[in-house]
Amino acid sequence: MGAENLVNGDETLRKWLGEFSKESTRTTYACALNMFKKNLNITDLGKYLSSSPDVVADIRSFLSSLNGKPSKTINTYVGAVKMFLQDQGMGISEDEWRKIRRRGFMPKRVKAETRDRKPLRADLRKILNYADIKCRAMVLFLLSSGARIGETLQLKHEDLSLDADPPEASIRSEYTKGGVGGRTVYFSYEARDAVKCWLKIKDKVHRRSGDGTYTSERIFPWSTGTAVFMWNNACEKAGLNLRDNHTQRRIYHLHSLRKFFRSCISLDQDITHALMGHTEYLDDSYLRLEQEGEIARAYKDAMANVSIYAVEDQELRKQTETLEQENLELKSRLAKVELEVTKLAKLIEELIK
């Protein structure tokens, strides 16, 4: 569900969310403000602001309502409300924030509490069996490229080189987290084939909302919320809607595909981090290797590690190559034996004479 659907006719909230460029940010902040409104029985933020509210007391009440939720959720939601109030000229002083922290309203440490899991190949096959063509193309691209979902959803037709070997995509700086970390990523042949199939019908497929087709310069023209919905829906149908016992959050989520890439690609650690867009690894040596084609060749050799359907073919090919090599060695040994037998026969013949 996008941010626009979460506004619920609140013009003050709509106007404030419009100041943020990313749909994912708008959606997160809309969820936070809606929870704030629900806790205080606020119907309209504009009326709330004009009523000279006690924002410190309201923030404390909101924090109390979040008790028991993961620390990252608390930190994100309270941060959104704090930013909103500051932008409306109702900021809370640092002294008040220190009091709130000292009194235990804010979590002492912000950490991920959900024990997410790297999906296994067999699990990914099950999930993809229940994904439609557009979801399958997106998922195969994500798990074989290591790209972030926010970067992937901004890719345009001219960013992809489907005929390259291996296939590649240009992640522009403006697509990246914080506007840094532009790079070239590579993806598997099966991901390329899935993307090609999707592009053939993309402009003809009608959206579920009924609002036209997917005609767009973007390869995957939908929001992060829609991408998450498609993934979660496929997981549920595959019987893999697993949740953390503590937080009740999903163990398999879209970000798990980056974990799959990182743990399975088996490339040099620095190259792996650079391909994933970790800016501290995008140094001159990486750019030099990229320009010389070394990274593309290394990825091509390791592609089977991040392939889902082609991995059996790769293993069979390796076994066949091993058998062929053993056959050549056996022929070579047999030729040597035949040569020795010929020499021995000549020697026996000479001795008889």
> What does the H/E/C string look like for the chain?
CCHHHHCCCCHHHHHHHCCCCCHHHHHHHHHHHHHHHHHHCCCCHHHHHCCCCCHHHHHHHHHHHCCCCCHHHHHHHHHHHHHHHHHCCCCCCHHHHHHHHHCCCCCCCCCCCCCCCCCCHHHHHHHHHCCCHHHHHHHHHHHHHCCCHHHHCCCEHHHEECCCCCCEEEECHHHCHHHCCCEEEECCHHHHHHHHHHHHHCCCCECCCCCCECCCCECCCCCHHHHHHHHHHHHHHCCCCCECCCCCCECCCCCHHHHHHHHHCCCCHHHHHHHCCCHHHCCHHHHHHHHCCHHHHHHHHHHHHHCCCCHHHHHHHHHHHHHHHHHHHHHHHHHHHHHHHHHHHHHHHHHHC
> Is 296 contained in some domain?
yes
Domain housing 47: 3-102
From 102, 132, 149, give the residue that closes a domain: 102
Same domain, 60 and 146: no
Same domain, 324 and 214: no
Residue 245's pLDDT is what?
59
Same domain, 35 and 145: no
> Which pLDDT band, with edges at 50, 70 and 90, does 113 fall under?
very low
More confident residue, 243 or 157: 157
pTM score of the predicted model: 0.67
> Is 125 contained in some domain?
yes
With 50 as the cut, is the pLDDT of residue 326 above it?
yes
> Is 137 contained in some domain?
yes
Same domain, 167 and 217: yes
With 60 as the cut, is the pLDDT of residue 222 above it?
yes
Question: What's the total number of domains in the chain?
Answer: 3
* pLDDT (average), residues 220-239: 92
Same domain, 152 and 285: yes
> Which pLDDT band, with edges at 50, 70 and 90, does 105 fall under?
low
* pLDDT (average), residues 94-115: 66
* pLDDT (average), residues 125-130: 95
Residue 124's pLDDT is what?
94
Same domain, 126 and 273: yes
Q: What is the average pLDDT score of the chain?
A: 86
Same domain, 82 and 166: no
Same domain, 165 and 76: no
Give pLDDT tens digits for 141-178.
999 999 999 999 999 999 999 999 999 999 998 898 77
Residue 116's pLDDT is what?
58
